[in-house]
Structure 1
Amino acid sequence: MARAARPSENRRKPAAALWADGLGRVGIRSAQVLLILAVAVASVYALMQIKLLVIPVLIALILAAAIGPFVNMLRRRGLPGAAATGIAFVALLILLAGVSTVIYFSVRSQWGDLAQQASSGLDELEQFLRNGPVPIDQEQLDQAREGIIQFATSSQVRSGAITGLSVVTEFITGTILMVVILFFFLKDGAKIWNFFLRPFTGEREAKLRRVGSRTLEVLGGYVRGTAIVALVDAVAIGAALLILQVPLAFPLAIIVFMTAFIPLVGATVAGILAALVALVANGPVVALIVVAVVVAVNQLEGDFLQPVVMGKSLQLHALVILMALTAGTILAGIVGAVLAVPLAAVAWAIIQVWTAEDPHLEDMNPDLPPANTQPA
């Protein structure tokens, strides 16, 4: 004789059926997505509270990845590990200090003239827009100018200026911290990475080792490639400015080099500044030639230099790069804009490795011991 269903069982079946249909599955997935987003937002918020530590760690990791092949080359030449690390570390510090010194004194000595030329260029551009072939109403120009002035004199900007001393202190502290972390990444990177891999075994450990190798490859390739592209941009645009006899050519070339580390928008902003200076000093014809040179250099960079120099280090769509730049700028200002793209490239590379869709995996052997510059 069949057993009669209990009332509790009858009540449970409709509840289970509620989540078994299509709408129920969508609800479960939506709850999972919301939970993941909440964890991500909480993690980003927590990291932003300790950005004085997070940013130096990220910069040190990127520099360690860039200089890692040089350390390995010195070791292959027979130098002990400590000596190779010390030589590479000191060489990197001298290089960074030299570049920073050249940039600082070059731009500082002519910064006033540069700002005045750019301001005069904006005035001439406004005059052209007012009397050009497609005239713009003076009221619209005044509203745009007032909006810029209001932003520049807003309480947020004033509060940022008031805290300038704090910013300088944080910068010095972060720089010292970055140098110390960089030294230990170069010296004990493999030991640090192996420490984090201790809880994992088998296939998961092998994947994590591949993640470490791919992260170093992406970061190192990105930094070295971006530096080469920035140098080519600065030399090409600077040479054009010198040939056209545009004043302040060297400071403008330095600014091009610096802004080239911000993809998509950096070189464009520097090109606009150079065109404004050329407009004031040499007239509209030379300014248009400068714009044409900047556009040609940007096309050369996007179509030839980046694919050849960076190779597979940056496999990101332009829209993804733009979104990463926006998010990085909102979260951490200029530093965030510089770090956003390589971090996005690393995140995409990690996803490819974890889902076994990375074409570089066939060249990696998870059984090999990690390199000395594995990330921490």
Structure 2
Amino acid sequence: MTAPEETAPVSVRKPSKPDLWKDSLGRTATRALQILLILTLTVVAVFGLLQIRLLVIPVLIALILAAAIGPFVNMLRRRGWRGGLATGVAFLGLLIVLGGVITVIVMSVRSQWDELISQAAAGLDELESFLLTGPFPIDREQLNQAREAVVEFAQSSQVRSGAVTGLSVVTEFLAGASLVVVILFFFLKDGAKIWEFFLRPFKGRREAKLRRVGKRTMEVLGGYVRGTAIVALVDTVAIGAALLIMQVPLAIPLAIIVFIGAFIPLVGATVAGILAALVALVANGPIVALIVIIVVIAVNQLEGDLLQPVVMGKSLELHALVILMALTAGTILAGIIGAVLAVPIAAVTWAIIQVWTAEDPDLEPMNPELPPANSQPT
């Protein structure tokens, strides 16, 4: 007899548990967690920078000014000037220009302030008579109530606390201005050494990319500042000449405000033009104010259609919506200074993204070790 064949034990395979992180919903959840982590880190970083904005803002302003003045310092060095002497000459020239602008503003305001106050009082009287007898008349009692409300607000504790806050703002401004002066001097004198120090931990292709990032950052910032200054100068001459011809009070300070406002794209020059039109309305009447508005609109059209594309070139390759969003974010985070710094920071950020993803068209000739343009990022 033969022994019965032994049957092999049948192994029962347990059903594997489904991996919840590998299906479509799991992949979506993983990506959502990554996005939330990045947003959290960004918020924490922005919050931390805002806590030391007294240092961050002067550093950014000094970097932008150094990018604009740097070519002049380098030109002096190529002609044999020592680094400290070239930096001192450029730095002294900048201080002379800023001091001259401030002096012109103060002297113009002091010489025409009394005239503007008297004309403003007459204009307010005309406005009050128009409100009382115009097509939509307002009772004098309502005007008196509005006036009392303004006086009460001016005497309130909120305004007094605001004055204390204003004093602290002045103190912060002076401290920030002093920091800008010191940091700008060292950026102009030792900027290359400072950048080399930050590049020490990196080697190879990553170092080459970072060198290109630094070069592109200074190119974009310098081109933006110089181009905006040229556009602002044209706006200032055109609008200031119109104000002087029509004998609008404070024409020179208003023209300088137009120059400063031009550094806030889209809205700066417009707001400065509206301010000039309001002064003309109070001091010279509605006809002159209308002419000022027409001049401002014409200058803005000339700036947007001709000056910006020709002068700025590739320094500001940003869509108008991106500029508007950057202005809004900068204003919310840091007020007027944030609005001024937001657009150049956005332009630099876009330039860095182009360099890092090898999409900068000038990337190959300047850095042959980097991957070719339009290739996949590494």
| Same fold (TM > 0.5) | yes
Give the number of aligned pairs.
356
Q: Does 1:290 align with 2:292?
A: yes
CA contact (8 A) 1:222 1:342 kept: yes
Identity over the aligned pairs, expressed in percent? 75
Shift of 1:119: 7.9
**CA offsets per residue over residues 330-356 of structure 1, 9 Å max, x none?**
111111111111111111111111111
Letter in 2 for 1:173: A
Q: CA deviation at 1:151?
A: 9.1
Please say if 1:233 is aligned against 2:235. yes
Aligned with residue 352 of structure 1, among 346, 351, 354: 354
List aligned pairs for 1:206-245, cutoff 5 A.
Answer: 206-245=208-247
Q: CA deviation at 1:36?
A: 0.8
The match for 2:37 is 35
Q: Greater RCO between the two (CA within 8 Å, min separation 6)?
A: 1
Match of residue 183 from structure 1: 185
The reply to whether residue 86 of structure 1 matches residue 85 of structure 2 is no
**Aligned pair in 2 of structure 1 residues 207, 284: CA closer, same or farther (>3 Å)?**
same
Distance 2:105 2:224 in 1: 22
Please report the RMSD computed on the Cα atoms of aligned residues, expressed in angstroms: 3.1
* Matching residue of 2:310: 308
* 1:280/1:89 CA distance change after superposition, 3 Å: closer
| Per-residue deviation, residues 283-307 of structure 1 (Å, max 9, x unmatched) | 3222222111100000111111111
Deviation at 1:275, TM superposition (A): 1.5
Which residue of structure 2 lines up, in the alignment, with residue 331 of structure 1? Answer: 333
Structure 1 position 279 matched with structure 2 position 254:
no
1:42/1:155 CA distance change after superposition, 3 Å: farther
CA 1:366–1:159: 2 relative to 1, 3 Å: farther
Does residue 71 of structure 2 align to residue 69 of structure 1?
Answer: yes
Question: Matches of 1:119 and 1:5 in 2, distance apart?
Answer: 95
Aligned pair partner of 2:60 in 54, 58, 61: 58
Q: Which amino acid aligns with 2:315?
A: S
Cα distance change of structure 1 residues 72 and 274 upon mapping to structure 2, 3 Å threshold = same
2:68 counterpart letter in structure 1: A
Where do residues 12-23 of structure 1 align in structure 2 (5 Å cutoff)? Answer: 14=18, 16=19, 18-23=20-25
CA shift in 2, pair 1:168/1:281, >3 Å: closer
Of 44-53 and 254-263, the range deviating more from structure 2: 254-263
Once the two structures are superposed, residues 236-291 of structure 1 have per-residue CA deviations (whole angstroms, 9 ceiling, x without a partner) of 00111222233332222122122222211111111112222222333322222211
Contact 2:104–2:253, Cα closer than 8 Å, also in 1: no
Report the secondary structure of 1:19's partner residue. coil
**Distance of 1:126 and 1:297 partners within structure 2:** 33
- Select between 356-365 and 251-260 the one with higher mean Cα deviation: 356-365
**In structure 1, C-alpha distance between the alignment counterparts of 2:138 and 2:263, rounded to whole Å:** 37
Q: Does 1:167 align with 2:177?
A: no
1:200 and 1:266 mapped to 2: Cα distance? 41
CA contact under 8 A between 1:66 and 1:219: conserved in structure 2? yes
Q: State the alpha-carbon separation in 1 of the partners of residues 164 and 81 from structure 2.
A: 50
Question: Shift of residue 209 of structure 1?
Answer: 0.8
Kindly state the Cα deviation for residue 173 of structure 1 after the two structures are TM-superposed: 1.3
Pair member with larger Rg:
2
The 1:93–1:292 alpha-carbon spacing in structure 2 relative to 1, beyond 3 Å, is: same
Alpha-carbon distance, 1:161 to partner: 2.0
Tell which deviates more after alignment, 352-361 or 288-297: 352-361
* Contact persistence 1:74–1:84 (CA under 8 A): yes
| 1:317 paired residue among 304, 316, 319 | 319
TM-score (normalised: structure 1): 0.84
Q: 2:48 aligns with which of 41, 46, 49?
A: 46
Specify whether residues 283 and 194 from structure 1 end up closer, same or farther in structure 2 by C-alpha distance, changes over 3 A only.
Answer: same
CA distance in 1, matches of 2:251, 2:217: 37
Q: Deviation at 1:6?
A: 5.8
SS state of the match for residue 103, structure 2? helix
Q: How far off is 1:363 after superposition?
A: 4.7
- In the alignment, the residues of structure 2 paired with residue 191 and residue 174 of structure 1 have an alpha-carbon distance, to the nearest angstrom, of 24
Write the letter of the residue equivalent to 2:262.
A
User: Could you tell me which amino acid in structure 2 is paired with residue 278 of structure 1?
Assistant: A
The question of whether the paired residues in 2 share the 8 Å contact of 1:122 and 1:276 is answered with no
Distance 2:350 2:125 in 1: 44
Q: Distance in 1 between matches of 2:256 and 2:199?
A: 42
Q: Indicate how the Cα distance of structure 1 residues 155 and 342 shifts in structure 2: closer, same or farther if over 3 A, else same.
A: farther
1:174-224 deviation line (CA, Å, top 9, x unaligned): 111111111111111111111111111111111111110110011111111
Give the drift of 1:52. 0.7
**Helix, strand or coil at the partner of 1:20:** coil
- C-alpha distance in 1 between matches for 2:185 and 2:327: 28
- Name the SS for the 2:249 alignment partner: coil
The answer for unaligned runs of 5 or more in structure 1 is: 368-376
User: Counterpart in 2 of 1:194?
Assistant: 196
| CA–CA distance in structure 2, aligned partners of residues 323 and 190 of structure 1 | 33
The aligned amino acid for 1:55 is: I
Instruction: Tell me what 1:265 maps to.
Output: 267
Partner of residue 3, structure 2: none
Which amino acid letter does the alignment assign opposite residue 198 of structure 2? F
